[in-house]
Amino acid sequence: MKLLRIDSLAELRQNAERWDELWRRSDVTLPTARAEMVAQWVEHFAPKRRFVALAVEKAGELLAAIPLVDGPNRTGRFMAQLPRNCWTDAGDILVEPSDSGIKAVGLLATALGQLPWSMICVDGAPAESPRWQTLLKTLHDRQCRFVIRPKFHVGVIDIRGHWDLYEASLSTNHRHALRKTLRKLRAEPAGNIVALNNPSAEDVPALLQRVCAIEDKSWKGTSGSSIMQTPGMFEFFLRQAIQLAKWGQVEFTFLRQDDQDLAAEYAYVAKGVLHSHKIAYDPQHRELGPFRLLRYLQLQEIFEHESYEAVDTLGIMSEANARWSTRSYIANRIVCSTGGLLGNFLVDKYERVWPKLKSRLGRSVETPAAEKLGASRYLNTVADLANDGNQREIDATHSFQQASPC
């Protein structure tokens, strides 16, 4: 095994084929962790910050990799971060799911101590995932201090077939609201769901414009926090979406009525998962429940065609997303030392001081409570169904063996 240090975006792009192949083998499902997506994030959000990526290679293949940039403002003198923020995730640790991959993470962790940073801060990390568990165990073995602070829950909708079972698992109140909304939709000019899961790069600008136009009508537009109201942000997402379209890893979904967009979603798609990155609805049609309708009709179609294995709602799990979710995972802030006395000292100070500072600022230091999952019964029902089917198969085989003259 050999360590590879990448000190520029040009070098990253030169290694994009191997980087992306490692991404395909890893447990990371977001396509924004691919090399070009990382490069685009750094070019837009951190063009003047130092960038370093570490990778471990063997026989021409990458086994583990992590991209890093200077932390924001003055923290970059001693702290690095993954290339991700509240607008979009780009960087993640990529690990080959094998014994070689685990060994490669050990080499990667050792190399972190040779970088100019004393600590690394990662927001939104799924600490329970295999890749992060591997890195955290390796850091622990190297006596590098780290802190895990749960930030928020993220809802996931599992697609295991049986639409009728999924629909029945939704709460009574939610199903009642859905029936009411569907009656309204049918009483007015016909509404329909339009999912464009393989748009051409040429079609992307108009599609993204439609999504952002709907978002701009919402409270985000009024507060100045929408994509259209943030300088340079539409151009960033347009560049991102065009690249994803070239890979076949983007989907636009619209709820339309009378030739008008009522709601829309911009999603990343890869490895059987639809990642719902941006969803918005026109507040003028709030009484129709456009978000609820879009998700209901979208899921109905996904279940029917078995398009995906799961829908990851991304971001903080709202009550609206929780109603549909079968399970959730926790997005954490991970602050870790890269090794040495200074790094461990800084992490120790963060662990002791940060909660007190947040408390003084009137911000909660407790992990936000998870919203009640509206469709958690679905997984249990499907599992019971599978167990019943397996038992019937075993019983049938046993009966056949007993009846066999041999």
Question: What is the torsion angle, in degrees rounded to the nearest 10, for the CA atoms of residue 181, residue 186, residue 187 and residue 190?
Answer: 120
Helix (H) or strand (E) run with residue 110 in it: helix 99-112
Strand partners for 148: 334
Buried b (16+ CB within 10 A) or exposed e, 333-352: bbbbbbbeeebbebbeebee
* pLDDT tens-digit series, residues 169-185: 999 999 999 988 888 77
Averaged pLDDT for residues 371-394: 80
For residue 29, report the phi and psi dihedrals to the nearest 5 degrees: -100, -20
Which CATH superfamily is 160-308 part of? Gcn5-related N-acetyltransferase (GNAT) (3.40.630.30)
Provide the residue ranges of all domains of the chain, joining segments of one domain with +: 2-152+331-360, 160-308
Q: How confident is the model at residue 401 (pLDDT cuts 50, 70, 90)?
A: very low
The DSSP string of 288-354 is: G-HHHHHHHHHHHHHHHHT--SEEE--SS--HHHHTT-SEEEEEEEEEEE-SHHHHHHHHHHHHHHH
- Sign of the alpha-carbon torsion through 163, 161, 306, 32: positive
Distance CA 184, CA 178 (A): 10
Higher local confidence (pLDDT), 91 or 63: 63
- The per-residue pLDDT for range 317-350, each reduced to its tens digit, is 999 999 999 999 999 999 999 998 999 999 999 9
In CATH terms, the superfamily for domain 2-152+331-360 is Gcn5-related N-acetyltransferase (GNAT) (3.40.630.30)
Which pLDDT does position 180 carry in this prediction? 87
Across residues 13-26, what is the average pLDDT? 98
Terminal C-alpha separation, the chain: 56
Percent above pLDDT 90 for the chain: 78
Mean pLDDT for all residues in the chain: 90
Q: Give residue 359's identity as a one-letter amino acid code.
A: S
DSSP bridge partners of 193? 255
Q: Which helix (H) or strand (E) element contains residue 195?
A: strand 191-196
Give the residue from 189, 180, 179, 206 showing the smallest Cα distance to 260: 189
Predicted structure pTM score: 0.91
| Confidence at residue 307, expressed as pLDDT on a 0 to 100 scale | 87
On the question of a common fold for 2-152+331-360 and 160-308, the answer reads yes
Q: Tell me: pLDDT of 394 over 50.
A: no
Can you tell me the distance from the alpha carbon of 271 to that of 71, in angstroms, rounded to the nearest whole number?
30
Give the tens place of pLDDT for each residue, 198-243: 899 999 999 999 999 999 999 999 999 999 999 999 999 999 999 9
CB of 115 closer than 8 Å to CB of 73: no
Instruction: Name the CA radius of gyration of the chain, rounded.
Output: 24
Q: 164 phi and psi, to 5 degrees?
A: -65, -35
Neighbours of 402 (CB within 10 A): 7
Indicate the DSSP class of residue 92: -
Q: Tell me the C-alpha distance between 23 and 101, whole Å.
A: 12
C-alpha 16: how far from chain center = 21
